[in-house]
C-alpha cells in the first residue's frame, strides 16, 4: 500500500466520533463498499444520494455534507439496508443521528408540526383529534356497521374497558379522515373473539417525534401511551404502526 493512501481510520470527523459512541455495535468500519445497501433502498438517487454514498461520507469525515443533506429526511429508516448488508452496518442509526444534528426549527415542517400537535393532545394524535371527537367517531361508525351489516350486529368496540386483554392503538389519520378504515380490524378482532379496548387517552398509534429525531419528545409520547395501557390494566399493547 502506498504511504500516501487514505486510511479511513485517520479520517474521523466530529460526526463520526459522535455516532461511534452512540452506536457501538454499528459496524461502521466493516463496510465493503459493495453497494448492496443502495440496491434495494427506495431513497436511492434522491438528492443525488444513496445509502452507500452517505456511509462513505460519514467514514471520510465529511461532516458538513452529512449533517446538511435533505436526503436523511427521505430515508424511511425501514432497515432494509441493514438486512441486505453482509456486515449488518446500521445506516438508519447514522441517518437518525444526522437528523438530530439539524436545528429543531429547521427540520421538515410536516413532521415537526405533527410531533408538536401530538404533544399538545391527551390522545397523542398528530392530527389533533380530541378525546370527545375520538369517542364520537368510534360510536358513530360502530352504529353504522351494526345497522348495515347484520352479521356484525353484536360487534363491540370498547373505549376504556378496564382489564381488557389488549389495548389497541389506531393511526389517527383514520378516525379523522377515513373512519371506515378502522372497521376491517374491528371485524377481525370480533371474529376471533378478542378481548380488546381502545383508550380515550393515548390511543393514537403514530409517533412523528421519533421520525423528527427528537428523543425527549419521542420518549414523552411513548410514556403517555404506556401510562394509558397501565391504567386500564391491559396485558398486551398492540400498536398498529
Burial class from Cβ neighbours inside 10 Å (0-12, 13-18, 19+) for residue 232 reads buried
What is the DSSP pairing of strand 196-197 with strand 166-168? parallel
Q: 110: pLDDT confidence band, cut at 50, 70 and 90?
A: very high
Domains of the chain: 8-102 (1.10.1060.10), 109-238 (no CATH)
* Whether the predicted pLDDT of 61 surpasses 50: yes
Query: Which region among 12-21, 74-83, 128-137 has the lowest average model confidence (pLDDT)?
Result: 12-21
Query: What are the angstrom distances between the C-alpha of 3 and each of 6, 11, 12, 13?
Result: 9, 15, 19, 21
Query: What are the angstrom distances between the C-alpha of 6 and each of 27, 51, 76, 89, 188?
Result: 20, 21, 32, 21, 58
* Whether the predicted pLDDT of 22 surpasses 90: no
State how far the Cα of 55 lies from the Cα of 38, in Å rounded to an integer: 10
Q: 28: pLDDT confidence band, cut at 50, 70 and 90?
A: confident
Q: What is the mean pLDDT of residues 135-163?
A: 97
At 49, list the grid cell. Answer: 444520494
State how far the Cα of 41 lies from the Cα of 72, in Å rounded to an integer: 13
The predicted-structure confidence for 202-228, as pLDDT tens digits, reads as follows: 999 999 999 999 999 999 999 999 999
Amino acid at each position: 500500500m502506498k504511504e500516501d493512501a487514505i486510511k479511513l481510520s485517520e479520517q474521523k470527523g466530529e460526526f463520526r466520533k459522535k455516532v461511534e459512541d452512540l452506536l457501538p455495535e454499528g459496524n461502521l468500519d466493516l463496510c465493503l463498499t459493495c453497494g448492496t445497501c443502495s440496491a434495494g433502498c427506495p431513497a436511492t438517487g434522491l438528492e443525488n444520494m444513496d445509502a452507500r454514498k452517505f456511509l462513505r461520507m460519514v467514514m471520510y469525515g465529511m461532516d458538513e455534507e452529512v449533517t446538511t443533506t435533505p436526503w436523511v429526511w427521505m430515508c424511511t429508516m425501514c432497515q432494509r439496508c441493514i438486512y441486505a448488508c453482509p456486515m449488518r452496518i446500521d445506516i438508519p442509526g447514522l441517518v437518525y443521528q444526522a437528523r438530530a444534528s439539524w436545528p429543531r426549527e429547521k427540520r421538515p415542517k410536516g413532521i415537526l408540526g405533527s410531533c408538536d400537535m401530538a404533544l399538545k393532545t391527551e390522545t397523542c394524535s398528530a392530527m389533533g383529534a380530541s378525546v370527545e371527537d375520538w369517542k364520537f367517531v368510534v360510536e358513530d361508525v360502530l352504529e353504522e356497521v351494526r345497522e348495515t351489516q347484520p352479521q356484525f350486529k353484536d360487534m363491540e368496540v370498547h373505549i376504556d374497558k378496564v382489564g381488557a386483554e389488549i389495548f389497541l392503538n389506531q393511526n389517527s389519520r383514520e378516525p379523522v379522515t377515513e373512519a371506515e378504515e378502522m372497521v376491517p380490524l374491528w371485524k377481525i378482532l370480533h371474529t376471533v373473539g378478542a378481548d380488546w379496548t381502545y383508550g380515550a387517552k393515548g390511543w393514537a398509534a403514530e409517533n412523528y417525534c421519533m421520525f423528527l429525531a427528537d428523543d425527549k419528545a419521542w420518549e414523552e409520547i411513548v410514556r403517555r401511551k404506556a401510562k394509558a395501557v397501565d391504567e386500564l390494566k391491559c396485558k398486551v399493547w398492540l400498536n398498529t404502526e
